[in-house]
C-alpha cells in the first residue's frame, strides 16, 4: 500500500489498519440511553466503544451507566466538567486500550 503525502511523493504504509479480520460493524454508531448520576441521557458511540465500556464495567462489577456516572462525577470534581462528554468517553476508552496493550499516552 502506498500513501501520498503530496502529489508525486509516495511512501509505503507499513501497518495496514484494515487487517483481514477488520469488522466494520465496530465502526457503526449506536445510541444508547444511560443514567448519569440519576439523570437520563443518550450517548451515541461506535460499537467498539460500547464493547470497551462493557468490558470496563464487567471488570468493575458494575453497569455501564454506573461506570459512566463515575467518569462524569470525577471529571466534574477534578476539572469542573467537560463540554464534550462523548468525546471524553472515547478518550477514556482509547487510553484504557493503550494501557492494556502496553502503550501509555502522555501529554
Does the structure show a pLDDT above 90 at 18? no
Q: How confident is the model at residue 61 (pLDDT cuts 50, 70, 90)?
A: very high
Report the C-alpha gap between 105 and 77 in whole angstroms: 22
Q: 36 near 72, Cβ under 8 Å? A: yes
Q: How far is CA 7 from the centre of its chain?
A: 33
Which residues are within 8 A (CB) of 37 and not within 5 positions of it... i.e. 6 or more apart?
A: 69, 72, 73
The pLDDT tens digits for 63-83 are 999 999 999 999 999 999 999
Q: How confident is the model at residue 3 (pLDDT cuts 50, 70, 90)?
A: very low
Domains by residue range for the chain, with CATH: 23-100 (1.10.3990.20)
Give the per-residue pLDDT at 101: 75
Report the C-alpha gap between 99 and 42 in whole angstroms: 28
Amino acid at each position: 500500500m502506498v500513501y501520498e503525502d503530496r502529489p508525486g511523493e509516495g511512501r509505503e504504509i507499513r501497518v495496514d489498519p484494515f487487517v483481514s479480520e477488520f469488522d466494520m460493524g465496530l465502526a457503526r454508531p449506536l445510541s444508547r440511553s444511560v443514567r448519569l448520576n440519576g439523570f437520563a441521557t443518550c450517548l451515541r458511540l461506535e460499537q467498539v466503544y460500547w464493547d470497551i465500556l462493557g468490558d470496563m464495567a464487567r471488570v468493575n462489577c458494575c453497569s455501564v451507566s454506573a461506570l459512566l456516572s463515575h467518569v462524569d462525577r470525577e471529571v466534574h470534581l477534578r476539572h469542573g466538567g467537560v463540554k464534550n462528554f462523548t468525546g471524553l468517553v472515547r478518550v477514556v476508552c482509547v487510553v484504557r486500550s493503550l494501557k492494556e496493550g502496553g502503550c501509555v499516552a502522555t501529554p
